[in-house]
């Protein structure tokens, strides 16, 4: 239930802070502060630069992808409503997940696309279309 609540909250935050990008930035700042405090409490250490420097370039794109996700949710929720927005996000996430699994992308073990997986994806998309239409 956190995702539709987040979408609705951030859509209202847009009205308070004066824009979509500002709302996404404020949301990320609040989240970054909370996660930083949580990381300090749980791990009680700070990551070492030498450890981070050896990481593949693409591990740093997660924040950009998260920003895109939040920005799109702020734009789409007032237009489509929370149910359709969450549904479209879910369908997109499933499609992307099936592709990542099939090709073994981003360090994930490969798992072949099967007809039941495709059927499941199509059923979710049909459900989203029904939610949006009715």
pLDDT tens digits along 49-108: 888 888 899 999 999 999 999 999 999 999 999 999 999 999 999 999 999 999 999 999
Q: Any long-range contacts for 119-124 (C-beta under 8 Å, 24+ apart)?
A: 120/94, 121/91, 121/94, 121/95, 124/87, 124/90, 124/91, 124/94
Instruction: Give the residue numbers spanning the domain of 26.
Output: 2-133
What is the pLDDT at residue 52? Answer: 85
How many structural domains are present in the chain? 1
Q: Any long-range contacts for 22-25 (C-beta under 8 Å, 24+ apart)?
A: 23/74, 24/67, 24/70, 24/71, 24/74
Q: Give yes or no for residue 47 having a pLDDT over 80.
A: no
What is the pLDDT at residue 51? Answer: 80
What is the band of 30 on the pLDDT scale with cuts at 50, 70, 90?
very high
**CA–CA gap between residue 57 and residue 103 (Å, rounded):** 19
**CA–CA gap between residue 44 and residue 60 (Å, rounded):** 22
With tokens 């495709």, the residue in question is 118
């Amino acid at each position: 239930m956190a995702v539709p609540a987040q979408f609705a909250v951030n859509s209202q935050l847009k009205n308070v802070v004066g824009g979509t990008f500002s709302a996404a930035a404020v949301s990320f700042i609040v989240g970054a502060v909370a996660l930083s405090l949580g990381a300090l409490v749980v791990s009680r250490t700070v990551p070492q630069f030498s450890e981070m420097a050896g990481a593949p370039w693409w591990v740093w794109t997660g924040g950009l992808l998260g920003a895109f996700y939040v920005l799109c949710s702020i734009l789409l929720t007032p237009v489509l409503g929370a149910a359709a927005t969450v549904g479209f996000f879910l369908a997109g996430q499933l499609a992307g997940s099936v592709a990542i699994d099939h090709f073994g992308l981003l360090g994930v073990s490969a798992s072949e696309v099967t007809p039941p997986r495709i059927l499941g994806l199509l059923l979710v998309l049909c459900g989203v279309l029904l939610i949006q239409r009715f």
